[in-house]
């Protein structure tokens, strides 16, 4: 079934099974491999992308469900430049192995779009579903605070 939707600002038509998870549509169908497979059961957050502006687990969304929608992946977050969250991540050297980080960044960007000045507790609450086996949580929290500051100065 051909499904039309927008990915990173570009109109795409994908002819794949409608029940295919968005995660695999992105990685296998569109070669956007920045979005990672971790658990496949909505328990790790590695596959987080934005669907019409909201952070979603792309392993739990089907191709049929994104018909007509706007999807943004880590490749398109900054629209050709680095997003403030990505700049903050680099400044804080957040990543260790890096595997969870695109999901972390997408979750953080969605948080700041909704709440531009989150408290530490609000950051922890928003990010708690994104697991990091390397334990980068303190740096993630600091980077989200830095990104909020950068966005407030734009």
Binding positions for ligand FES, rule: CB under 6 A: 37-40, 42-47, 57, 59, 95-101, 132-134, 136
Q: What is the closest distance, in whole angstroms, from the C-beta atom of residue 152 to ligand FES in the complex?
A: 27
CB closer to ligand FES out of 39 and 90:
39
Rounded to whole angstroms, the Cα distance separating 33 from 26 reads 7
Rounded to whole angstroms, the Cα distance separating 52 from 93 reads 29
CB closer to ligand FES out of 105 and 132:
132
Edge-first strand listing for the sheet containing 2-7: 10-15, 2-7, 70-72, 48-51, 54-57
CB closer to ligand FES out of 56 and 77:
56
Q: What is the closest distance, in whole angstroms, from the C-beta atom of residue 94 to ligand FES in the complex?
A: 8
Q: What is the closest distance, in whole angstroms, from the C-beta atom of residue 114 to ligand FES in the complex?
A: 20
Q: Which two tokens stand for residue 22?
A: 């968005």
Rounded to whole angstroms, the Cα distance separating 23 from 57 reads 8
């Amino acid at each position: 079934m051909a499904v039309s939707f927008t990915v990173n600002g570009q109109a795409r038509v994908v002819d794949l099974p409608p029940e295919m998870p968005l995660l695999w549509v992105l990685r296998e169908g569109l070669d956007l491999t920045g979005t990672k497979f971790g658990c496949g059961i909505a328990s790790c957050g590695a596959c987080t992308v934005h669907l019409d502006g909201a952070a979603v687990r792309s392993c739990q969304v089907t191709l049929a469900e994104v018909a007509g929608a706007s999807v943004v992946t880590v490749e398109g977050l900054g629209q050709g430049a680095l997003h403030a969250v990505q700049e903050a991540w680099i400044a804080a050297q957040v990543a260790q192995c890096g595997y969870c980080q695109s999901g972390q960044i997408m979750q953080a960007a969605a948080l700041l779009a909704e709440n531009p000045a989150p408290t530490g507790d609000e950051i922890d609450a928003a990010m708690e579903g994104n697991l990091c086996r390397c334990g980068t949580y303190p740096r993630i929290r600091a980077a989200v605070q830095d990104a909020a500051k950068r966005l407030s100065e734009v």
